[in-house]
Amino acid sequence: MSDKIKVTIDGIPVEVEPRTSILNAARQIGGDIVPPAMCYYSKLEGSGGKCRTCLVKVSKGSEKDPRPMPKLVASCRTTVMDGMEVQNITSPEVIEARKGVVEMLLINHPLDCPICDQAGECHLQDLSYEHGAATTRYEFDRRTFDRVDIGDKIQLHMNRCILCYRCVFTADQITNNRVHGVLGRGDHAEISTYIEKAIDNDFSGNVIDVCPVGALTDKTFRFKNRVWFTKPVEAHRDCPTCSGKVTLWYKGEEVLRVTARKDVYGEVEDFICNTCRFDKKSTNDWVIEGPRQVSRQSVINANHYDTLQPLPVIKKNPELMQANKEQFERATKF
């Protein structure tokens, strides 16, 4: 087709509709060359451009104007031009800049993954794993905030927030009177519902799904389980408010939590209502479709109880057992 636009990303050509962003063009190719996106969310109008993890190098502007762009650009907010050539993982400059961004995102992050409900499905975790340094160069106190309840179902843990503004855009899109936004400036900015007013809306629970980190969590699920011990199952119900298409997260027979269905980029297919999310936690409420396909690399696939051959756990390690025994004896001597 002639009105399609041809771009090359890391040497791989693709033809896309005009006005597509570089990021979405890369997603059409898929695989390793897709830049990570912490703030862009295709379902949220105006999102993107903020976190800077998706920076790429445009080595050729277009067929008409082949000059490269002077700076790295945010691929989520830069539209493709015909003949454009983009470098993502093939550009050392991009990798270096991304490493810098990840470091910046982490210097004030509490790194409390062991007690964070998002662990296992956290985009910041994935990102740090791939691009982060093993140690920190930041030797100052991290900023802290008090935890805040946003209504009785959602908790805001501002320490973990990366200010991606996704929840703000979600709140903007589901209500027409603004109650949720950003207060303060710079590294003391914080997400807030003015005077801790609950976002009183049938769809407010979606802020939990859009949050890439563990800053907004589901209070009905808090501390119930690690996500990799739960089993995702697709289900639907006839819901008068939303599409009713969800993922149920099972532990044994029990539905521990309900979320919208997310794609490989962590974006939901449809926003779901609070009734489906918070109040329908029994198998009887749902028509089960089948297990959710989770990428094989995902940690969610790592530790399922239904694994046929359970992984050898510490008990099988004689040295460790001996060490434990000694420790136990020493501790109980007194």
Smaller CB separation from ligand SF4, 37 or 161? 161
Report the partner that residue 37 touches, choosing among other proteins, ligand FES, ligand SF4, none (CB closer than 5 to 8 A by kind): ligand FES
* Separation CA 6–CA 102 (nearest Å): 31
Report the partner that residue 103 touches, choosing among ligand FES, other proteins, ligand SF4, none (CB closer than 5 to 8 A by kind): other proteins
* Separation CA 89–CA 188 (nearest Å): 32
- Could you say whether residue 76 binds ligand FES (CB under 6 A)? yes
Residue 235, classified by CB atoms within 10 Å of its CB into exposed (0-12), middle (13-18) or buried (19+), is: buried
Residues lying near other proteins in the complex (CB under 8 A) are found at 48-53, 55, 71-72, 74, 77, 97, 100-101, 103-105, 107-108, 137-138, 140, 162-163, 165, 181-182, 184-189
Q: How many CB atoms lie within 10 A of CB 8?
A: 17
* Separation CA 311–CA 306 (nearest Å): 11
Smaller CB separation from other proteins, 40 or 271? 40
- Could you say whether residue 132 binds ligand FES (CB under 6 A)? no
Report the partner that residue 137 touches, choosing among other proteins, ligand FES, ligand SF4, none (CB closer than 5 to 8 A by kind): other proteins
Could you give the string, one character per residue 23-62, with x where binding to ligand FES holds by CB under 6 A and - elsewhere? --------------xxxx-------xxxxxxx--------
Smaller CB separation from ligand SF4, 9 or 156? 156
99 Cβ contact list (under 8 Å, min separation 6):
131, 132, 133
Q: What are phi and psi of 157, to 5 degrees?
A: -115, 85
- Could you say whether residue 248 binds ligand FES (CB under 6 A)? no
Residue 72 tokens read as 């790295």
Smaller CB separation from other proteins, 74 or 154? 74
78 Cβ contact list (under 8 Å, min separation 6):
21, 22, 58
Q: What's the min distance (Å) between Cβ of 216 and ligand SF4? A: 5
